[in-house]
Amino acid sequence: MTKNIHIRTFGCQMNQADTEIISSLLQEQGYRMTGSEDDADLVILNTCAVRENAVGKIMNMLDNLKGKRRIRPDLLVGVIGCVPQYYREKLFDMTDGIDFLAGPDTYRQLPMLIENAEQGVRGAHLASVPEETYTGIEPLRSGSISAFIPVMRGCNNRCAFCVVPMTRGRERNRSMKTVIDEAGRLAEKGYREITLLGQNVNSYRDDEAGCDFAGLLEHVARAARGVRIRFTTSHPKDLSESLVGVIAREKNICNSIHLPVQSGSTRMLGLMNRGHSREEYLEKIAMIRRSIPDVTISSDLIAGFCGESEEDHRQTLSLMEKVRFDFSYMFCYSVRPGTYAAKRMEDDVPDEVKKRRLEEIIALQNRISAERHAAEVGKTVEVLAESESKRSSDMLMGRTPENRVVVFDRGQSNPGDLVRVKIHASTSATLVGRPQ
């Protein structure tokens, strides 16, 4: 009898892309993917360990599943991804009700782990496989409009606060050819948007082909003409002028860049081991804007990292005023055991100060986002319709090439259509318009 598998995905786009690879791998083995845990024989949690509360979510989810197992004792539960890679087999002692564990490099072992679990044998496969890129596995994609292509895995940077190098290991790149071929296939299948993924895509390299990320992006844009091309995530120190030149030249590469800065203070950037100063970041922003005037830039910001003073915090706020990000992901610093910061630095900013600084950062970002969006009112923009709006099925939601979210009257349009939309209203998060 065919077994149903439900995969619940937490965290970043890389995890979403991994879920599509795993779905393909398990479908190959005769399992059927199901959208709900209620009719699943096996529930797999694909997890994120980037912050403490991310792990808390997993523990709550496992508690819920324990309840389901009381009613359906044959229900199997697997935990994969960054949390088991971070806690390793200790996770079996932290909570019961887990049948197997697998890490980001060992998804090819899942069929074996599941078979054993079906025989009542609990198992874990948490090896680091430095060359693993899952090349050759065609992802079972959840949508038909936008697609992810992971071009590399892992990260060689050592930011003091970050667990990613511990959970996803050192960088390894897919060959340029396999990425270009995949992009071409997606274009043929009618996908409208492709996002190239990597923890730090800018450091992508295919030495055999003598190709860096700028070269890869250019090839992909040409292999998928008419398809919007995006990429994430960039590290400021590796963002090159040649990459910005490619974005400016190739019309189907979207003019939006996600460029995490984390702090506006050079002193904090040093303590975080980010490898660049405030001034160098601002120079990169100026270089980007010289080549791509209407580019939008988004970022990541951390409030309250070890040793952060009020002056450092003011530096972050003043950098935000200077750059005027379109939007940002903003968090309080959360100690992650095993990181350099956890081992060598004191988490000395009191929680209430962290919270107050985060509130100030969020308030400033919301003001800037609202002002930038208000400047779009009256303009006509090109929107790739992605889905029905949560507000009403008479409205669609989509994005501009600048990655701005637009909600607009449906009219004759459908998800997947490119629609010219006149903007008549805005909020800090959304533009509202009517098709032209």
Question: What DSSP character marks residue 125?
Answer: E
**Minimum distance from CB of 221 to ligand SF4 (Å)?**
24
Q: Which is nearer to ligand SF4, 49 or 419 (CB)?
A: 49
**Minimum distance from CB of 163 to ligand SF4 (Å)?**
8
Quote the longest CA-to-CA distance of the chain. Answer: 64
Q: What is the distance between the alpha carbons of residues 253 and 323, in angstroms, rounded to a whole number?
A: 22
Q: Which is nearer to ligand SF4, 200 or 365 (CB)?
A: 200
Phi/psi of residue 148, nearest 5 degrees: -95, 140
Phi/psi of residue 42, nearest 5 degrees: -140, 130
Q: Which residues have a Cβ under 8 Å from the Cβ of 71 and sit 6 or more positions away? A: none
Nearest 10 degrees: Cα torsion 22, 26, 28, 29: 150
Q: Which is nearer to ligand SF4, 347 or 409 (CB)?
A: 347
Amino acid at 104: P
For residue 55 the two structure tokens come to 């792990």
- At residue 171, the 3 state secondary structure works out as coil
CA-wise closest residue to 400 among 191, 254, 227, 190: 254
For residue 361 the two structure tokens come to 């950062």
Residues that bind ligand SF4 (CB under 6 A): 155, 157, 159, 162, 164-165, 199-200, 235
Q: Which is nearer to ligand SF4, 155 or 406 (CB)?
A: 155
Under a CB-based contact definition with an 8 Å cutoff, are residues 198 and 233 in contact?
A: yes
Q: Calculate Rg over the CA atoms of the chain.
A: 22
**Minimum distance from CB of 157 to ligand SF4 (Å)?**
4
Question: What DSSP character marks residue 3?
Answer: P
- Which segments of 134-212 does DSSP mark as H helices, in order? 164-168, 176-188
Q: Which is nearer to ligand SF4, 158 or 249 (CB)?
A: 158
**Minimum distance from CB of 199 to ligand SF4 (Å)?**
4
Q: Which is nearer to ligand SF4, 109 or 200 (CB)?
A: 200
Q: Which is nearer to ligand SF4, 230 or 373 (CB)?
A: 230
